[in-house]
Amino acid sequence: MVLKFGPKEHQIERLNLFLMSPESPPKLAFSLLLNLQDGPVGIHTIDNLVVVHHKHTSKSLIFDIGLQKTLVERAPVAVTTIRLHDRIKEAFSSLNTYHPAWVTFPPNLIADVRLGIFSTIKIDLEGTAEEIQDNMMLLDFIMNRKNSEEFFLKTLRRLLLNKELSIRQSAEIFTRILEEPTVALNNNNKGKFWQNLVFDHAEIDDYE
């Protein structure tokens, strides 16, 4: 991973990810577009997502490199904020997110050197999904996550009942579900769940 600074002063333009091989020079695999003002950043890899934390703006940019695999340049699928678990807030009332004392460690650790604590960070799948406006990208994003089957079905059912997917899009999604082992690439499910795809009490009428 290499941070690249832009032509403008104090601009963090992108994060370049390289494939490393002992037999060949490093090869650029993905270029994650950040466009952030200069300042401390932290990087985590969680559930095949690259998460870039920017302390000055108290924002976290989430990149899913499993989407649109033919593209090198990637924009974040969501921009969100770290939320503290209730137990941490109760135990450490003075703990603030994106504090200058925060130090990130791979793959998903945060240390607060001021308070002397370690914590892990996790992806709030449902909260992150609310930030994704494109329905097909949303379904692909959920499908790429571990243990996401129930939420995937809930989301797909909602989109179908609300007629938010075209017939072509619906057909494309069901084709992906039925094509093993390409479905749920990062779920390690081997497609077992998708063989039992069932919508209980779902009624879809006059679908256009």
Q: pLDDT 10s digit of each residue in the chain, 208 long?
A: 888 887 777 789 999 999 888 888 999 999 999 999 888 899 999 999 999 999 999 999 999 988 877 889 999 999 999 988 888 888 887 788 898 889 999 999 999 888 888 899 999 999 999 999 999 999 999 999 998 989 999 999 999 999 999 999 999 998 888 875 444 444 444 444 555 555 554 444 554 4
Q: What is the pTM (predicted TM-score) of this model?
A: 0.81
Give residue limits of the domains in the chain: 124-202
d(CA 152, CA 1): 31
144-179 in b/e form (b: 16+ CB < 10 A) is: bbeebbeebbebbeebbeeeebeeeebeebeeebee
